[in-house]
């Protein structure tokens, strides 16, 4: 009986632990730096730079220019890059998209979709510091651990093949691995256009 209880307890512990995961520690700050910031889930500069470079490669393939901003999970800047020829507004929108992710803990497109469906007004979202536009995504490891946010701005979308958001998603997938699926692209409802 004791052996059976022990086996059941061991099986329950394995089930609760979940599936084995790859070592994602290469993407976050580690070592002595964590002692200083007392945080172990912050995107590191090397990962932020690699994501940015991968996004630039995607933009070059499309013949467009982008600006990229990466914040840590608290909204502090980690990395910023703008391709030559980007106007100030492209840089600002990249920052606003990343900030929206920090505020909401979801893609900036979620805010855009709320406005397009009439569930929220753009003015109200703006008053909360959110930008109702796609192009901002959480940077996720282990399936549900947000370690930062990326905002990409500056290019015109050519859906479903290209957008700032697709650039960010492809770059993160290339550098980190699978990311959450992108939200659908909604059209404005009559209620949202009033």
CATH of the domain spanning 42-193: 3.30.450.150
**Token pair for 169:** 């998603």
What are the sequence ranges of the domains in the chain?
42-193
Q: Is 64 exposed, middle or buried (0-12, 13-18, 19+ CB in 10 A)?
A: middle
Q: What is the pLDDT along the chain (194 residues), one digit of tens a residue?
A: 444 444 334 444 333 333 334 567 778 766 776 666 656 788 999 999 999 999 999 999 999 999 999 999 999 999 999 999 999 999 999 999 999 999 999 999 999 999 999 999 999 999 999 999 999 999 999 888 899 999 999 999 999 999 999 999 999 999 999 999 999 999 877 765 55
**Farthest CA pair distance, the chain:** 73
Q: pTM score > 0.85 for this model?
A: no
């Amino acid at each position: 009986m004791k052996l059976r209880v022990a086996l059941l307890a061991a099986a329950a512990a394995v089930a609760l632990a979940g599936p084995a995961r790859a070592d994602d520690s290469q993407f976050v700050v580690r070592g002595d730096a964590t002692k200083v910031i007392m945080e172990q889930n912050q995107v590191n500069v090397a990962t932020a730079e690699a994501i940015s470079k991968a996004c630039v490669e995607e933009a070059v393939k499309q013949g467009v220019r982008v600006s990229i901003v990466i914040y840590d999970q608290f909204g502090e800047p980690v990395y910023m890059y703008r391709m030559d020829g980007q106007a100030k507004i492209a840089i600002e929108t990249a920052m606003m998209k990343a900030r929206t992710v920090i505020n909401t803990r979801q893609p900036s497109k979620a805010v855009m979709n709320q406005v397009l469906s009439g569930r929220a007004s753009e003015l109200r979202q703006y008053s909360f510091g959110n930008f109702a536009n796609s192009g901002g995504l959480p940077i996720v490891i282990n399936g549900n651990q947000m370690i930062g946010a990326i905002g990409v701005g500056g290019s015109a979308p050519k859906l479903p093949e290209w957008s700032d958001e697709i650039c960010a998603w492809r770059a993160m997938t290339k550098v980190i691995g699978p990311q959450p699926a992108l939200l659908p692209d909604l059209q404005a409802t009559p209620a949202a256009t009033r």
